[in-house]
């Protein structure tokens, strides 16, 4: 009996190093709260048009994902030796408070990392979103519309499927990022019968209190049986500086759309300034945004302004409560779109 125990113990010790090389983590975000919003008139981002419409008041109790979208995910890595690792992330978007069916895939990629940097293949954040995630102090709360001009004008350019992404190592604070995705089906009877291609590029600098980042996404598509390739370009430049008592920040996002003939049809831009003030367990954020958009072919220019105030109080490392207020105004020469609202919520991360 004693010999059997010794053999079992030795077998366990022999297997332990191999088992320790693999690591899988389950994580998620649960965010529920109360929101109240009021909208007057309408704004259509695709055509950049403001038009008369009814006043709409919306109240939600127990709403999921106000500050951070609900999610559950799995991330893991395996040590392959000589500094090489295999990595993966599989993340699903969820609506914890409602029965809305099968979760959507937010992220799903696998790759390798080492001294050369990291390569990821699959569904992943666009390079523009990576910059916004790193520099947006309002927790990137795109689910709360009032006061968020980037989301209002469709400038967030969220995720890319079927992508190959390369992230370089950091050199004196600098790193570069390259992303490519392509779905192209050619049919002899048509011209570019189906095409969807992304060519994205980014560069980042983070050293001490200063962080600066730039990213550009370019999406080219082609409708079945048509010549020409419509093109959508989104780019962002962002910077922040940690003063200790406060972190001022600035970002500029732009979005241009060209039709199959190469003529620009949409031209949008937003400049945002603000400050984050940490106060122990409490974080306060204030930001103001000024933007312009235009449907170029005969369209009327629309001026946009927005402000947002956010307070997040941490009850622990994983749980916090928050309050957020936002206001958006978009107007052309004849009509004004207005939206304002507030939210109170509880967010738990695991």
Tens-place pLDDT, residues 159-177: 999 999 999 999 999 999 9
Question: Is the pLDDT at 71 greater than 80, yes or no?
Answer: yes
CATH 3.30.470.10 applies to domain 25-41+50-349: no
Question: Is the pLDDT at 139 greater than 70, yes or no?
Answer: no
> Is the separation of the CB atoms in 281 and 305 below 8 Å?
no
How does residue 12 score in pLDDT terms, banded at 50, 70 and 90? very low
Distance (Å, whole) CA 154 – CA 231: 15
Among 2-6, 22-26, 50-54, 243-247, whose mean pLDDT is lowest?
2-6
> Is the separation of the CB atoms in 289 and 303 below 8 Å?
no
pLDDT at 176: 98
How does residue 265 score in pLDDT terms, banded at 50, 70 and 90? confident
Residue 223 has, within 13 A of its CA and on its CB side, a CA count of 5
Sequence ranges of the domains in the chain:
25-41+50-349
pLDDT at 308: 94
Distance (Å, whole) CA 28 – CA 14: 33
Question: Is the pLDDT at 4 greater than 80, yes or no?
Answer: no
Q: Which of 27, 328, 346 is nearest to 152 (CA)?
A: 328
Greater pLDDT, 88 or 96: 88
> Is the separation of the CB atoms in 71 and 90 below 8 Å?
no
How does residue 260 score in pLDDT terms, banded at 50, 70 and 90? confident
pLDDT at 221: 84
Q: How far apart are the first and last CA of the chain?
A: 43
Six-digit token string for 131 = 């910059």
Longest dimension (CA), the chain: 91
Distance (Å, whole) CA 150 – CA 272: 9
Question: Is the pLDDT at 73 greater than 90, yes or no?
Answer: yes
Question: Is the pLDDT at 5 greater than 50, yes or no?
Answer: no
pLDDT at 224: 59
Q: What is the pLDDT of residues 195-232, one digit of tens each?
A: 788 999 999 999 999 999 999 999 988 765 566 678 89
pTM of structure: 0.86
Distance (Å, whole) CA 285 – CA 307: 11
pLDDT at 247: 96
Beta bridge partners of 272: 251, 289
Residue 308 has, within 13 A of its CA and on its CB side, a CA count of 33
Q: What is the pLDDT of residues 27-57, one digit of tens each?
A: 999 999 999 999 999 888 777 788 888 899 9
Q: Hey, CA dihedral for 61, 344, 291, 139, is it positive or negative?
A: negative
Distance (Å, whole) CA 310 – CA 281: 14
Q: What is the mean pLDDT of the chain?
A: 86
Question: Is the pLDDT at 3 greater than 50, yes or no?
Answer: no
pLDDT at 95: 82
Distance (Å, whole) CA 59 – CA 70: 19
Beta bridge partners of 75: 25, 89
pLDDT at 92: 93
Six-digit token string for 315 = 């009850």
How does residue 252 score in pLDDT terms, banded at 50, 70 and 90? very high
Q: Where are the beta strands (DSSP E) in the chain?
A: 22-40, 42-44, 49-51, 56-64, 71-81, 84-93, 104-114, 117-125, 159-167, 174-185, 194-207, 210-222, 231-241, 247-258, 264-279, 282-295, 302-314, 319-331, 336-349
């Amino acid at each position: 009996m004693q010999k059997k125990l010794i053999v079992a113990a030795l077998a366990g010790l022999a297997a332990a190093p191999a088992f320790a090389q693999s690591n899988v983590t389950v994580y998620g975000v649960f965010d529920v709260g109360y929101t109240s919003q009021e909208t007057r008139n309408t704004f259509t981002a695709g055509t950049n048009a403001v038009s008369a419409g009814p006043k709409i008041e919306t109240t939600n109790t127990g709403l999921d994902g106000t500050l951070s979208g609900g999610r559950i995910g799995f991330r893991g890595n395996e040590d392959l030796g000589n500094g090489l690792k295999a990595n993966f992330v599989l993340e699903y978007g969820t609506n914890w408070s409602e029965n809305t069916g099968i979760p959507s895939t937010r992220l799903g990629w696998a790759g390798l990392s080492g001294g050369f940097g990291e390569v990821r293949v699959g569904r992943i954040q666009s390079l523009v979103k990576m910059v916004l995630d790193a520099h947006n102090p309002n927790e990137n709360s795109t689910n709360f519309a009032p006061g968020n001009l980037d989301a209002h004008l469709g400038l967030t350019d969220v995720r890319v499927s079927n992508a190959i992404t390369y992230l370089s190592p950091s050199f004196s604070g600098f790193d570069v990022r390259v992303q490519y995705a392509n779905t192209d089906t050619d049919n002899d009877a048509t011209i570019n019968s189906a095409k969807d291609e992304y060519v994205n590029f980014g560069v980042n600098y983070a050293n001490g209190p200063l962080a600066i980042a730039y990213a550009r996404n370019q999406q080219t598509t082609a409708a079945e049986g048509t010549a020409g390739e419509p093109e959508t370009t989104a780019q962002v430049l962002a910077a922040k500086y940690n003063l200790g008592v406060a972190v001022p920040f600035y970002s500029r996002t732009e979005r241009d759309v060209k039709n199959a003939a190469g003529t620009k049809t949409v031209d949008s831009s937003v400049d945002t300034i603000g400050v984050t003030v940490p106060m122990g367990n409490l974080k306060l954020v204030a930001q103001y945004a000024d933007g312009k958009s235009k449907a170029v072919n005969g369209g009327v220019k629309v001026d946009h302004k927005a402000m947002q105030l956010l307070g997040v109080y941490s009850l622990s490392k994983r749980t916090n409560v928050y309050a957020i207020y936002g206001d958006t105004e978009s107007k052309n020469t004849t009509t004004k779109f207005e939206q304002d609202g507030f939210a109170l919520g509880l967010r738990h991360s695991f």
